[in-house]
Each structure stands twice: as C-alpha cells, then as structure tokens.
Copies of this chain bind each other. A is one copy, B any other.
Amino acid sequence: MTIQRKTIVLEKVLEILQHTQNAISVSQLMDKLETIGIRPNKTTLYRLLEKLVSTTDALSITLKNGISYYELRQKRPHHHHFYCTKCDTVFCLGSCHVHTQKIDLTQLLPSPKFTVEAHDFNLYGVCESCR
C-alpha cells in the first residue's frame, strides 16, 4: 500500500460524481468528461471506478438493462433508484422503505434459514422532464 497518485481523470471524475444528483454509467461519464475536453481510455475509467468501489468511496448499482451506474457513498445513506426509460437517467430516491418502515424480509423467504446479504429495489418509468 502506497500513496495513491493524483491524476486529472480521477479528480474530474470525482468532481462530476460530486456534482450530479444522479447515479451515472461509464458511458454517461465519458460523455461528461468529453464536454470538458477529457477523453479517457475506457479501461482506465473502469479501473478507476472499480477502485472507488473497492475502497467504498463509491457504489454501483446494476439495472435490468445490464448497465452499471455509479455514485459516491458520502452523498447519501442507503437508498434506491428510479430509472427513466426515456432519457436513461438514474435518479436517487428517498430513504430505503425497507429500513424506514422496518419491513421484515424474512417472512418473504422460502425458509427462514436463507441468509439475506443485500437487496436492491428499482423503479422504472418516466421522469418529470420526459413526460
């Protein structure tokens, strides 16, 4: 373990992740970087995001379109997402209802001997500006 090198790409990616309300995909990220004149190699970008996830600075969610979207953990506690099928934007939702409403997942299981390690919950539909 040594000190992680500072890079322009890392800085800009963090900046973009900080300033967006949404979770974003690699291709959306590449597009945003392109608008500020940065065209990173996609392997580099995947590796950077993988590192952010492994250090728990970021998390990724994967939707049923098979695409992963990334966001910084620091921004919000555990919550879920809304995917707009028109504009492909992934909006963050309010606090997870499973936790706020203390929903007992055990009673949904085929057997109480199942161990639940994670859950995901996604809404699909059309966002305000796409209506």
A: interface residue count bin = 35 or more
Q: Is the CB of B122 within 8 A of A120?
A: yes
Chain multiplicity (copies): 2
Give chain A's interface residues, CB within 8 Å of chain B: 21, 61-62, 64-66, 80, 82, 84-85, 91-95, 97, 101, 103, 105, 107-111, 113-128, 131
B residues less than 8 Å from A117 (CB atoms): 85, 124-126
Q: Tell me the bound Cα distance from A128 to B113 in angstroms.
A: 5
* CA of A124 to CA of B109, assembled, Å: 11
A122: chain B residues at CB < 8 Å are 119-121
Listed by A's residue number, 15 A-B pairs whose Cβ atoms lie within 8 Å are: A62-B66, A82-B110, A85-B117, A91-B110, A93-B110, A94-B108, A95-B108, A97-B103, A101-B103, A105-B123, A111-B128, A114-B128, A116-B123, A117-B126, A120-B120
